[in-house]
Amino acid sequence: MKPEFLEKMGDNMKIGYRSGVEKPRASNEDSIVTLRSDAIYESQKAEAALLVVADGVGGHKAGKVASHLAATQVAEKMGRVIFEKDREDISDEDVAPRFQEVIKHVNRKIFDDVRNNSQYKGMGTTVTAALVLGSTLHIGHVGDSRAYIINKDKIRQITKDHSLVQEMVDRGEISKGEVRRHPDRHYITRAVGFSEDITVDTFTEYILGDDYLLLCSDGLTDVVTDKEIHGIFAEHDDPQKICDTLVKKAHRSGAVTSVSVIVAQFDKLPKRKGARYDRTEVKGHADEKTGIQKAFTWMKG
C-alpha cells in the first residue's frame, strides 16, 4: 500500500500518517484528520495545525459512523481556531475550554444518535486531538488512543488511557508490563457517545525542534511497546517513513484491529540546550501571498 499523504508544513513542520488493517477486507473503524494553516496575516506569528485520531467502537458500521463524526466535527470546530486572523490573541487558557466544549458537543450528538437509532446501540469512539500553535501543543483526549512526545533521548506518553486495565494499574493490582497480556485490556471506561455527559482530559505542552508528536490508536500500542516505538523513531527521520514502519510493525506483531498513526516533526523550532527545555515561543514567518493551505484526510477501510 503506497503512502496516502505526506505534507510539508511550511518551514517548521512535516507530517506523515497511515491508517489500515492487516486483511484487505477487514473493517477500519478509525478516522484521522490533518488540518493546517501557514501564518498568512501579520497578526499570525507562527504556523498552526490540528491533528485528530478517532477509533470507533460498537461494531462494523456503528464504529465507522462514530469515529468519522467525531473526527470531522472536531476538525471543523477546533479548526476554526487556526484560521482566525487574530489567533495570536488566543491564550493557552482559552484552548482547553474550547476542546471541552467541542468534544462534549460531539459526545451529545453521538449519544442522541444512539438513543434514537437502535442500529447504533453501543456506538462510541475515542478522540485524541492535538492543536499546535507555534511551539505550544494542546491536547484534548477521551478514550485509549494516545499522544506521545518523542525525541532521541526518550518517549513520553502525554495522555492517560481511559481503560479498565489502566485503572487496575493505578490501584496497584497489575503492573504496566502486564497490561498488554491482560484479558480485559480492550475494555475502555470512557468514550465519546457512551453517556450523556463526559469528562475531557486536556494537556498543554511545549515542543522543541528535536521533538516528534505521535498520535495513535490502540491498534499500535496493543502490540508494540513504547521501547519498540522509540526504536523506530531512532532509526528514521522522515515522518511518513516512521508511520509506514510503525504500522508494518504492528501488523507483523499480530494487530487484530485497525492501526492509525500521525507523526509530526518540528524542524525549525528551537533545540534543547543540554537537558534543559527552552520554552521560548518561536516567531515564524507571515506571508500574505502564501494563502491558506489545508488538508483534510479521512481514513476509511
Question: In order of start, what are the domains of the chain with their CATH numbers?
Answer: 6-266 (3.60.40.10)
Per-residue pLDDT of the chain (301 residues; tens, 9 = 90+): 323 333 334 457 899 999 988 776 568 899 999 988 764 344 445 578 899 999 999 866 789 999 999 999 999 998 877 666 555 566 778 889 999 999 999 999 999 999 999 888 889 999 999 999 888 999 999 999 999 999 999 999 999 999 999 999 999 999 888 888 888 888 999 999 999 999 999 999 999 888 999 999 999 999 999 999 999 999 999 999 999 999 999 999 999 889 999 999 987 665 654 433 333 222 222 222 222 333 333 333 3
Give, for 266, the enclosing helix (H) or strand (E).
Answer: strand 259-266
CA distance 72 to 81: 15
Instruction: Give the pTM.
Output: 0.84
Tally of CA atoms within 13 A in the half-sphere of 34 that contains its CB: 26
Q: Which amino acid is it at 112?
A: D
Question: CA angle, corner 6, sides to 3 and 7, nearest 5?
Answer: 165
